[in-house]
Amino acid sequence: MAHSERSTELALRRARFAYERAHAIAAARGVAIAGGLVALAYGLHAMTPGIWLAAAALAVALAVLGWRGGAARRGALAGVLAGLPPLLAPSVVFALAHGGHCATCEHGATLQCLITCFVTASLVGVAVGYRASVDPAPRRFAIAAITTAALTGLLGCGTTGLGGALGVVVGVVAGGVTGWLVGGRAAHA
């Protein structure tokens, strides 16, 4: 192999490595963010095995989407931000309604908790769907955002039982589709 070919190959290898390293760092950042969210959820609610499963899935999703880069990474971050209200809202609502800590949600999920999960998830879903519709790669953005938003929300709403879990997932998906349609229609108008 000629010298110039060797140096070109070496440069390409180094460039690829730099690219993959940046993506690996983004994946590690995703895991760290998931860790922070789990710590927050742990402080707010009682953790059930189902919630731990959601936490693990969130960590994997953020790592994979962060590593993938581009719209997947943008969507994952947007999804985490969108998932914060459903993560926090049940605790706030339960505390306001009962003057207690939502650690007891698991045993006595109230209707307010369930409604709060569904409503906040729907609202953030609309925002996510709308934002996805204006992204250069809307489909990938939407899939990543809805996945991480639902998993982040599950860390909070999952503690209220199956009703809360379904509420956040259905809310995020339904809201996301609505936001997408509204955003798409606005773009074509």
Partner 1 sequence: MIDRLALDRWMAAAAEGDRAALAPLFHALWPIAVRYATRLVGDAQLAEDCAQDALVQLFGQLERYDPARDALTWALTLTTWQCRTARRRRDRRGEADELPADDDASHAAVDGASALERRDLVRAALAALDALGPRDLETITLAVTDTRTAATAPATFRKRLERALARLRTSWRSRHGTL
Binding residues (CB under 8 A) for partner 1: these are: 7-8, 10-12, 14-19, 21-23, 26, 68-73, 136-137
Question: Which CB, 54 or 145, lies closer to partner 1?
Answer: 145
Closer of 70 and 163 to partner 1 (Cβ): 70
Alpha helices by DSSP H, the chain: 3-44, 49-68, 70-98, 111-133, 138-157, 162-188
Query: Roughly how many angstroms between the first and final C-alpha of the chain, as a whole number?
Result: 58
Tokens describing residue 33: 């963010």
Q: Report in angstroms how near the CB of residue 15 gets to partner 1 at its nearest.
A: 4
Residue keyed to tokens 């998932």: 83
| Cα distances (Å, whole numbers) of residue 96 to 68, 100, 116, 179 | 41, 8, 12, 30
Residue 75 or 167: the one with the smaller Cβ distance to partner 1 is 75
Closest distance of CB 16 from partner 1, Å: 6
Residue 14 identity (one-letter amino acid): R
Smallest gap from Cβ 42 to partner 1, in A, equals 31
Determine the Cα–Cα distance for residues 31 and 121; give it in Å rounded to an integer.
Answer: 23
Q: Shortest distance, CB of residue 111 to partner 1, whole angstroms?
A: 43
Is residue 157 within 8 A of residue 86, CB to CB? The reply is yes
CB of 144 to partner 1, least distance (A): 11
Looking at the Cβ atoms of 16 and 185, the one nearer to partner 1 is: 16
CB < 8 Å & 24+ apart, contacts of 8-15: none
CB-nearer residue toward partner 1: 147 or 160 = 147
Taking the C-alpha atoms of residue 102 and residue 150, their distance in angstroms, rounded to an integer, is 19
Task: Give the nearest distance from C-beta 65 to partner 1 in angstroms.
Answer: 10
Q: Which one, 11 or 162, has the nearer CB to partner 1?
A: 11
